[in-house]
Amino acid sequence: MKIDILTLFPEMFDGVLSSSILKKAAEKQIVTYHVVNFREFSNDKHQSVDDYPYGGGAGMVLKPQPIFDAVAHLKQKSENTQPRVILMCPQGERYTQKKAEELAEEDHLILICGHYEGYDERIRTIVTDEISIGDFVLTGGEIGALAVVDSVVRLLPGVLGNENSPIMDSFSSGLLEHPHYTRPADFRGLKVPDVLLSGNHRLIEQWRMKESLRRTWERRPDLLENYPLTPEQKEWLQEWEKGNYSSSDS
């Protein structure tokens, strides 16, 4: 996969892209990163990228010309003539794991990081997606773009050591992930559930599914609104709603 990032602050990406999983993915040549300062594409002598909004108002607005030309340049260099062009924007669709999985199927992503008061509306005509990482406003799109890059790259085949890791992540199945434990089995009186020490893989998987469902019910019940519950899962929810928890639940 090729990931191009258009930003006015390329230095913000140096540390993250050269660390941890993102660095290893690049070293394995699974992904290449290209961070571009779109100020370099400005066609005026001052290399300005913003201007006052028509009609007045607070703040400055990003001009279309530098971004249009930067995107066109990146498309010309791409083997994929139809890359996904993503505008990081608080007005965009709310980012989800499902969206990350969708983007991970692409060969080429171009992410545009905004700044100042906003974008000239005409910039939206050259993008394929508008993404928001949450219902809040940041000073620019860089942090959001990094979140998108991280969430997508870790899904690419060969990036993680265990290919099943992304499958078990929170949100990948539609539910939050179950609790995890490691050694020691008893830490300051806090014990690992007996079922995880039993060696019975069928019971362990059942426990994990049950805990995944319960954690979602307790913390993110909205995720269950469209989740296809099995008859057994429906029974669990009915018991929990009554306040009934068996000893095997803990």
Tell me what pLDDT residue 146 has.
98
Reply yes or no on domain 173-249 having CATH 1.10.1270.20. yes
Stretches where the chain sits below pLDDT 50 are 247, 250
SS3 110: strand
Domain at 2-153, CATH from 1.20.1260.10, 3.50.50.100, 3.40.1280.10, 3.30.750.200: 3.40.1280.10
β-bridge pairing 32-37 and 2-7: parallel
Residue 163 is among the residues annotated as catalytic for this protein: no
> Does residue 118 have a known ligand-binding role?
no
Catalytic residue among 154, 166, 211, 214: 154
Residue 154 annotated to the active site: yes
- Those residues whose C-beta lies under 8 Å from the C-beta of residue 33, and which sit 6 or more positions away, are 3, 5, 13, 17, 22, 26, 149
Structural domain spans, the chain: 2-153, 173-249
Check whether 136 is labelled as a binding-site residue. Answer: yes
**Residue 122 to residue 99: CA distance in whole angstroms:** 24
- CA 94/CA 59 separation, integer angstroms: 25
Contact between 170 and 215 under an 8 Å Cβ cutoff? The reply is no
pLDDT at residue 168, rounded to an integer? 57
